Amino acid sequence: MSLNGIKVVEFAGLAPGPFAGLVLAHNGASVIRIDRPSSTSKDLLCAGKRSIVLDMKTASGVRVAKDLIAKADVIIDPFRPGVLEKLGLGPEVFHTSDKREGLNDKLIYARLAGFPRNGTQAMCHDINYIALSGILSMLPGTVDKPTFPLNLIADFAGGGLLCANGILLAMIERGRSGRGQVVNVDMVSGSRYVSSFPLLSAGSGVWGGLRGTNLLDGGAPFYDVYTCSDGKWMSVGCLEPQFFAQFIGKFNEVMKSSGKQGSWSPSRSTQSTKEDWPKLRKYLEDGFRTQPRDFWTEVFHGTDACAVPVLSPTEAAQLHGSPYPVPHPALSRTSPSPLQDEIKTLDPGKHTADILRELGLSEEDMRQLVTEGALGKEARELERPKSKL
């Protein structure tokens, strides 16, 4: 795989950091997650990773973390700005400068934050980041307010995925310069970047009107989701005239054959007549409710009508042959590894002893770490009745 031999240290965190590490692990990187003692992490984004428990409040815990990072290619820092600096693990410790020689000048130091580093250091969540990015105000919703697409835009697209992308860009540059660098990702700026098209289009023909009146924000009846007679949904996205013509032709056929067409029916030209959009929407809403979703799926299957069923997670898993999302993109020679069937969660500290041995620590060294509390209270309690870790 593309990243075989690349060593990554990932401090345990929430969605964006683990997802960045998962992308790297899926492509062959060896990812070690540093967990807190007594952690009850249920992180599902951990396929292919290993875990070590370290108490970063102890000097020996910090020392082990420093040794891991000094031998790594990448570190993923999900904390508030300044947290790792206070522990003596900031970028300046590892990167060579005019004043000092670093411990690992090839290290790619990836930092994930909510806000730009010159702004607030408050902790918030996806909905807050996209609120400040400008994109939330443009998303579909009700007449009163926009809604939000789970925590996908900031956490995963603008956060984790752009972090992984930044790491890969830094690796390419390191191949020329031989030096690592800091990759700064904040989820407000990341949300803006992945939303470049709508933000740059604001005020144009695509997003020229108020929210909910434009082509892609729920304003167009031919780009929306409709409820069927069984309570399931169909997605309609026939933006182009030729696709709309196929869609409305098929739809009108069903309405006519069922005797439910009514006194008004749309034609191909209805798409470009915006004053007819309210009538078209009502026609489609009423029509879709006359039949179950699978009926409509069959009507449009194999056509360019751009009308497909909205699948549940279970249905999508059956369609794709796995309950786990497959790593993407696929490369022709160095395709990523699925790995997702390997584990569902990663127990914090599961690989602590193995990782310490790989660092060159002896059994006596590990017992000393236990005594000093570097591996947490649990390890100390386990140590008492027996001599080995």
Residue 385, pLDDT above cutoff 60? no
Residue 26, pLDDT above cutoff 70? yes
Q: Which of 105, 125, 224, 276 is catalytic?
A: 125
Predicted confidence at residue 321, as pLDDT, reads: 87
Predicted confidence at residue 387, as pLDDT, reads: 46
Predicted confidence at residue 336, as pLDDT, reads: 82
pTM: 0.91
pLDDT digits 0-9 by tens, 31-63: 999 999 988 777 889 989 999 999 999 999 999
Is the CB of residue 312 less than 8 Å from the CB of residue 1?
no
Residue 380 pLDDT level (bands cut at 50, 70, 90): low
Q: Which of 77, 126, 155, 217 is catalytic?
A: 155
Catalytic (active site) residue 125 = yes
Q: Which residues pair with 33 in a beta bridge?
A: 10, 51
Report the chain's mean pLDDT, rounded to a whole number: 91
CATH topology of domain 223-227+233-309: formyl-coa transferase, domain 3 (3.30.1540)
Q: Which amino acid is at 375?
A: L
User: Higher-confidence residue: 224 or 345?
Assistant: 224
7-194+327-383 and 223-227+233-309 agree in CATH topology: no
Residue 378 Cα to chain centre, angstroms: 32
Residue 386, pLDDT above cutoff 70? no
pLDDT digits 0-9 by tens, 116-136: 876 556 778 999 999 999 999
User: Higher-confidence residue: 382 or 262?
Assistant: 262
Q: How many CB atoms lie within 10 A of CB 362?
A: 10
Helix (H) or strand (E) holding 130: helix 126-133
The helices-and-strands tally (H runs, E runs) of the chain is 15, 9
Residue 382, pLDDT above cutoff 60? no
* Closest alpha carbon to 72 in 355, 375, 368, 363: 355
Residue 4, pLDDT above cutoff 60? yes
Residue 17, pLDDT above cutoff 70? yes
Is the CB of residue 29 less than 8 Å from the CB of residue 110?
no
SS (H, E, C) 39-76: CCCCCCCCCCEEEEECCCCCHHHHHHHHHHHHCCCEEE
DSSP character string of 148-173: --TTIIIIIIIIIIHHHHHHHHHHHH
Instruction: Classify domain 7-194+327-383 at the CATH class level.
Output: alpha beta
Predicted confidence at residue 293, as pLDDT, reads: 98
* Closest alpha carbon to 28 in 86, 74, 81, 83: 74
Give residue limits of the domains in the chain: 7-194+327-383, 223-227+233-309
What percent of the chain clears pLDDT 90, i.e. is strictly above it?
A: 75
